[in-house]
A and B are shown apart, each in its own frame.
Chain A
Amino acid sequence: MPEEKQAKSIDKATLEMLDKAAEEGIATVFDRAEKMKPCPIGADGSCCKNCAMGPCRVPLAKGKEETPEEKKARVGVCGATAETISARNFARMIAAGSASHSDHGRRVIEAFKLMAEGKTKDFEIKDEQKLLKLALDMGVEIGNRSNNEIALDIANKCENEFGKQEGELLFIKNAPIKRQEIWRNLGVVPRGIDREIVELMHRTHMGVDQDYRNLMLQGTRAALADGWGGSMIATEIQDCMFGTPSPVLSEINLGVLKEDMVNLVIHGHEPALAEMLAVVSQEPEMVKYAESKGAKGINLAGMCCTANEILMRHGVPIAGNFLQQELAIVTGALDAMVVDVQCIMQGIKEVASCFHTKIITTDNRAKMTGAEYMAFDEHNPKESARAIVRAAIDNYTKRGKNVRIPNIKQPLIAGFSHETISYLLGGLFRASYRPLNDNIINGRIRGLAGVVGCNNARTTHDSGHIAMIKELIKNDVLVLSTGCGAMAAAKAGLMVPEAAKKYCGEGLAEICETVGIPPVLHMGACVDNSRILIAATAVVKDGGLGDDISDLPAAGAAPEWMSEKAIAIGQYFVASGVYTVFGTTWPTSGSKEFTNHLFKDMEEMYGGKWDFQPDPVQAAQLMIAHIDKKRKALGIDKARERVLYDMDMRRELEG
């Protein structure tokens, strides 16, 4: 029997553009994934290339139990065991992921500081309230000081978070008190962001830390330095400078591109340039310039997490998620793809060479051979943005005849920051998580789930996210989502309030209808997973659902993960007390002992643990089982009859 071919995507726009690519002989990530199978030894984390005596391969034999002798023989040239090799590889993924989010945070602070010092005129404080909140968090004096004076102190404090050698990261104290104590007892509270990542890289060097338990303590410290450090700083400072997201209506999928307009897609992760592009693309002079070239205007759209940033704050439409980046070019209608950092496939350059599309890199940390580099100057951001928009407009006249834009797009509502959720549930005078907690306690909402993460060409595009989310909301689990997972949900029509009636269980549908929210809440980009940590903390602090994140009927998942950032995110969620299930593939399968440490021991240490289940519906069932376990522990697993007490009954009670 020939092996059944895996479907490439469940998204019709993607399939239509894959057909166009095939007709025109253009290879994409989907074709390359078919041609090149993943290395089975590397996929299991059983390859060590940390020194020049290797690379050493220590694969676990499949289909039989390993004898003690065989296990003893499974070591590298230096004698490193499969456990050590697996743990080192896993830890290095955490280091790279934490470094990525945190370096994003650092770049945001640099722009914020320039603004505070008055060295750039185009950035400003859009949310003074977030500035004041940060001042309270960081012990910065408010008084009658100007916003820029306060901002400068905050910028300096944030910078210090990266280089600090001792003490604790400042945002750690925003976690539930019990959680902080767990971290302190285990010695995993991050001291400084850079220090934890550097130390982790040191400890995974040849011949250093060779105890997987000890390695993972530092792995956890580096991951926490991401979630409660670098990522949280990025989110908070961005909110301060560009605005805290509030509900906004927009559209998603390749159908947002327009045949008669200059199409400019901004792709990557950092919002500073994208914010400026959103502003200058609407300037009358720019629109006039586009018209002078025969276009009806300028159409700015986003891709990946930069898209999420400008969607959340401006409602700029999204052209697609990670696996659609080449396909936006395949439409033939894309005049420029402007990229910053992270998740940008080098394949876009080759695809662009088949069309007129200009690939413009803008960040000196992320150049691409053959692409045009137009530096984003943070001292003069609007001018940089104008030059890029002009380049896209000039390129419009070179557009070929092979243009086909799929007529497929979906409306979505995004913008559910922690602050907005609290406001929506309680209003301006008593913003609160109480209604959410009450409805979890009474069982209308069974629990909460964070479904986040990437796309992966090794699994049918978007299928994992959608199958999992539909199973969860059908079972009354409210879903919080970020990153490419959020985009998948939006494309499937799950991010509009109407979705509640169609896909949710009765209890969740009732809540969504009452509050007027979709059953899947878009909380932002991948750095904004820090928003989920804060929302979970608010649920804990509001009361009635235990006194730690690990007590909550909640779970997390990344069914289509692919990036090292996903592993860092997973580890900081586990260390924050969340049961976290990954799909597609698991990178430590080569060591049962180390995998057991992640899947079992961690629950005793942190209250949260890792799990792996490639079937998204079964993974959702595991999450629901965990949620039910937590409901039982809280004593809210059975519906209780509500009794209205009259005065006699009250007197009896008091007596």
Chain B
Amino acid sequence: MAYKTVKKDAPGRGEVDILAETYEAGEPTGEEAGRWRQKLESRDEKLKYLKSGERYWYSDDWFGSEKRKNPA
């Protein structure tokens, strides 16, 4: 894929090329356009996703505000 770039002023470096947008222009059409949950096919994949994507509730080894590695 050929990436588009744009020129921007960088502090102390003058004009530089930086990566521009990588999305396709236009409007998404059709009911299926934004659907992402169908990417997971098997039951195992779905259960695995619950443990990662919904780890706040369903993972045993997730550390967040309520379960800290080093308790305060």
Q: Is B50 an interface residue (CB 8 A)?
A: yes
B56 pairs with A547, CB closer than 8 A: no
User: Which of B23, B34, B53, B65 is the one whose CB lies under 8 Å from A431?
Assistant: B53
Cα–Cα, bound, A361→B29 (Å): 33
Known A-B contacts A142-B47, A423-B36; A541 and B64 likewise in contact (beta carbons under 8 Å): yes
Residues of B within 8 A of A422 (CB): 53-54
Q: Are the CB atoms of B52 and A431 closer together than 8 Å?
A: yes
A585 at interface, CB cutoff 8 A: no
Report the Cα distance A463→B53, complex, angstroms: 38
Query: Does B13 make an interface contact (CB < 8 A)?
Result: no
| A315 near B40: Cβ-Cβ < 8 Å | no
Does B8 have its Cβ within 8 Å of any Cβ on chain A?
Answer: no
A419 in contact with B53 given A428-B36, A541-B64, A541-B66 (CB within 8 Å): yes
Instruction: Answer yes or no: B4 CB below 8 A from chain A CBs.
Output: no
Q: How far is the CA of A247 from the CA of B29 in the complex (A)?
A: 11
Task: Give Cα distance in the complex from A423 to B46, angstroms.
Answer: 14
Q: Which residue of A lies closest to B53 (CB)?
A: A431
Q: Hey, which chain B residues are within 8 Å of A244, CB to CB?
A: 37
Give Cα distance in the complex from A243 to B37, angstroms.
9
Bound together, the chains give a CA A429 to CA B54 distance in angstroms of 11
Taking residues whose C-beta sits less than 8 angstroms from the other chain, chain B's interface range is 20 to 34
**A428→B31 CA distance, assembly (Å):** 20
**A424 and chain B: residue at smallest CB distance:** B36
The 8 Å CB contact of A248, one of B34, B37, B40, B47, is B34
| Residues B22-72 near A (CB distance < 8 A) | 23, 27-29, 31, 33-37, 39-40, 43, 46-47, 49-50, 52-54, 56-58, 63-66
Q: Would you call B49 and A129 a contact (CB within 8 A)?
A: yes
Give the chain B neighbours of A537 by CB distance below 8 A: 56
Interface 1/0s, chain B 2-29, versus A by CB < 8 A?
0000000000000000000001000111
Determine whether A133 belongs to the interface, using a CB cutoff of 8 Å to chain B: yes
Partner of A543, one of B47, B49, B65: B65
Shortest C-beta distance, A579 to chain B (Å), equals 20
Q: How far is the CA of A132 from the CA of B49 in the complex (A)?
A: 11
Please, which residues of chain A bring their CB within 8 A of the CB of B58?
133, 136
- Contact between chains at A541 and B34 (CB < 8 Å): no
- Chain A contacts with B in 284-321, Cβ cutoff 8 A: 314-315
**B29: chain A residues within 8 A (beta carbon):** 249
Cβ-based interface call for A540 (8 A): yes
A42 at interface, CB cutoff 8 A: no
Residues of A within 8 A of B33 (CB): 247-249
Contact between B65 and A128 (Cβ–Cβ < 8 Å)?
Answer: no
On whether the beta carbons of B39 and A428 are closer than 8 Å, the reply is: yes
Q: Is the CB of A129 within 8 A of B37?
A: yes
Q: Which one, A174, A423, A516, A541, contacts B65 given CB within 8 A? A: A541
Q: Are A423 and B56 in contact (CB under 8 A)?
A: no
Q: Judge if A177 is at the interface, Cβ distance under 8 Å.
A: yes
CA distance A620 to B40 in the complex (A): 40
Q: Which residues of B contact A546 (CB under 8 A)?
A: 65
19 A–B pairs (Cβ distance < 8 Å), ordered by A: A129-B50, A132-B46, A136-B50, A142-B47, A176-B66, A244-B37, A246-B37, A314-B31, A315-B31, A420-B36, A428-B39, A428-B53, A430-B52, A431-B49, A431-B53, A516-B23, A540-B65, A540-B66, A541-B64
Q: Apart from A128-B43, A422-B53, A516-B23, what are 4 other A-B pairs with CB-CB below 8 Å? A: A415-B34, A428-B49, A430-B52, A541-B56
